Copies of this chain bind each other. A is one copy, B any other.
């Protein structure tokens, strides 16, 4: 008989009928009650052993972590806590889990620190917390694809290995097939890249935007969703060396359309998670409430996790120009009382995380879209406004997370783009193909990048970005 997923059995109304489940033992109480989880849901199915039906040699092997097959009859549960349970007729141990060895791992049934869980990242998905996070992450990925596909966007796989480093700013990882202790040199003493696999210097992509723009100029509306890399030596709870990014790009769309798209998109995926991940969200919400109990009152969350998601859904993102934001910050209490590490004195300053948090968490108390930033603190491809000083950039700031989206209307005018590149010493030869998009039927177009893991952080309420990706890559850490 084919086995059923626990998620199906828990919803089943086929009482008194035979059922088979396969999964891992989460607990075994009183030599009678096995709780089995198979990863399909955060819940376990309770399997009940009638007294004396099973040999002690068998029941001794029903230990936490063991893989088992249970065949039996689905019945209404007599206990509280579950609607149905399985009266076990037969139990097979598929794989043992030696309790002595298990004791040394995070699978042992006691509380482990998140840091310890990270060190055993290959096992942590078997805990309730990480099972929930990774199911939510998966659903969130799908919601992203579904949103764009429903709205006639085409998915584009921009290259991971790239020859251009225009955006890299020295933060791109190198990719090579050289033996690192035998790197060939040219007669002039430089590196002889002509002998490398690709015959040129290559890096890991820091953004698929430029390639996505070329595709938007053909398919109209595209999006990327893939891994992105930064060799940035920042060991913070918000940075990864390898992360996933979503980058839509839309032809014939200006910055206002871009803001509308970003807001609509984010609200769609949050609604999807509220609709499709109720059990996992409920668990993660309770987890946060527990965690908050050990914190001082001032540091506790003001809202429950699901209320926070609903709050974002129900409110318009506040759209504020950079210039307005600077005014607010200049006149803010923390600025006047010199509480900011970087005081805001004048227009043109780059905003730090402390400023973004003030705007979002204290001043507006809702997601904020900042736009029209000073040209000099933003990238070369952003469209210059008529004032000659600002560009049509936007950042979306989220409470507790900070920047979750960065985007812009792109400079569609060939001459302006070339001037900007020249001023920044970006060689035209390197981006000849990018410039071509402005030569042949250029048009107003816009796009943004959303850091996927930051979105997962927001949705799950976790606070360290290492906890929302299966195997995090950070400075000095590429285990597994």
Using a CB–CB cutoff of 8 Å, the interface residues on chain A facing chain B are 3, 5, 7, 22-25, 38-40, 65-67, 69, 94-98, 101-102, 105, 107, 120-123, 125-126, 130-131, 134-135, 137-139, 141-142, 145-146, 149, 152, 154-164, 173-178, 180-181, 183, 185, 190-191, 197-200, 202, 204, 211, 214-215, 217-221, 226-227, 229, 231, 233, 241-242, 244, 251-252, 412, 433-434, 436-444, 469-471, 473, 475-480
Contacts and interface: CB of A to CB of B under 8 A. Distances in A.
B478 A215 contact: no
A226 B226 contact: yes
Given A94-B443, A197-B241, A175 B173 contact: yes
A125 B436 contact: no
A219 B441 contact: no
A66 B3 contact: no
A32 to B, nearest CB: 20
23 contacts: A22-B252, A25-B441, A38-B252, A94-B444, A95-B438, A95-B442, A101-B439, A125-B214, A125-B218, A131-B218, A137-B157, A157-B244, A160-B229, A173-B176, A173-B197, A175-B204, A178-B180, A180-B191, A199-B478, A200-B478, A211-B480, A214-B480, A226-B226
A122 B214 contact: yes
B436 A219 contact: no
A325 to B, nearest CB: 29
Nearest to A189: B181
Nearest to A23: B220
A96, A120, A217, A438 pick with most chain B CB within 10 angstroms: A217
A190 B157 CA distance: 37
A468 to B, nearest CB: 10
A436 B123 contact: yes
B181 A183 contact: yes
Contacts of A227: 157, 160, 226-227
A7 B49 CA distance: 61
A161 B473 contact: yes
Contacts of A176: 173-174, 176, 180
Contacts of A475: 197-199
Contacts of A69: 252
A219 B39 contact: yes
Most chain B Cβ neighbours within 10 Å, of A25, A157, A159, A442: A157
B211 A471 contact: yes
Given A220-B39, A476-B199, A107 B440 contact: yes
Contact of A219 (B135, B146, B215, B479): B135
A36 to B, nearest CB: 11
Contacts of A66: 441
Contacts of A204: 160-161, 175
A219 B125 contact: yes
B67 A442 contact: yes
A387 B66 CA distance: 28
A96 to B, nearest CB: 7
A430 B70 CA distance: 35
Contacts of A97: 439-441
B478 A126 contact: no
Contact of A22 (B135, B202, B241, B251): B251
A28 to B, nearest CB: 13
A155 B142 contact: yes
Contacts of A185: 181
A163 to B, nearest CB: 4
A454 to B, nearest CB: 14
Nearest to A217: B126
A470 B211 contact: yes
